[in-house]
Structure formats: C-alpha cells, structure tokens
Amino acid sequence: MIYGIGTDICDVRRIAASLARHGDRFAEKVLAEGELATWRERSARWPDRGLRYLATRFSAKEAFSKAIGLGMRMPMTWRHCEVAKLRSGQPVIVLHGALKEWFEAQGLQAHLSVTDETDYAASFCVVEKIQTKLP
C-alpha cells in the first residue's frame, strides 16, 4: 500500500550560493557521513560534479521528507537520511538513528529516483507500507 509520495526540485545555483556563503558547513549540515566523504572526493576532482551531488542529495532528502509526511521535522533530519547507491547505480535511502527506528516501526519502505540537468536537480520518492505497525 502506498503510504506517501514526495517530490522536490532544487535550483543548483542556490546550492552553489549556499556553499559560497557557508562553505563546508552547509554540506556538513545536509550530508550524512558517507555522503560527505563522496562529496569531498568528487568536489576535489570535479567541483561541478561535487555541486551536483550535493544538489541531488538535497532534493532527494526533501522529497523523502514529504513522502513520509513530516517535512523537515523530527525524527526527520538531513543527516539521518542518507542517499546511497546500489551496485547498479540505483539510489537508495539508508536511514540512521531515531529516523530509522521510527520508519521501521511503521513498517515502511522507500523508493527513490533522482535526476539533474544544468541548473536543476529533482527527486521523486514513493514510500510504501509493507507491514502493519509493530506492537
């Protein structure tokens, strides 16, 4: 059963402006540990790919926050929602901490798709209820 859907479009130029204003602190607020390592590695080699990586993560997390119906409200936090990749390249949501506990207790499963082109990054997320709530 579909629990919720969420979508988000992110202006890559706004992410670039936030990075210019706040430096790494902006990325450290939005990205989970694993993502931060990937972002640093990509940014060092190809600054534009680092920027796009950050913009797609930003939009994916916002789309997920809408699909679960919470927005950016506890237990949803930027850093507890990680966007990882399967070997095939498909993005997957990996949760941590209180958000993971809450999500699993509700019996939920997320499906994510992300895209970007020139100045925009966009994401679509579907959250499915796979089992009844645990006691």
Ligand X SMILES: CC(C)(COP(=O)(O)OP(=O)(O)OC[C@H]1O[C@@H](n2cnc3c(N)ncnc32)[C@H](O)[C@@H]1OP(=O)(O)O)[C@@H](O)C(=O)NCCC(=O)NCCS
Residue 108 binds ligand X (CB under 6 A): no
Residue span binding ligand X (CB under 6 A) among the ranges 29-37, 68-76, 103-111, 112-120: 68-76
Interface residue with ligand X among 17, 37, 72, 130 (CB under 6 A) is: 72
What is the DSSP code string of 11-57?
EHHHHHHHHHHHTHHHHHHH--HHHHHHHHHHHHH-HHHHHHHHHHH
- 6: closest CA among 120, 81, 106, 112? 112
**Residue 7 pairs with which residues in a beta bridge?**
124
Check whether 62 is labelled as a binding-site residue. Answer: yes
Q: Which stretch binds ligand X (CB under 6 A): 23-31, 46-54, 71-79, 123-131?
A: 71-79
**Residues at the interface with ligand X (CB under 6 A):** 8, 62, 65-66, 69-73
Annotated binding residues for Mg(2+), written as ranges, equal 8, 62
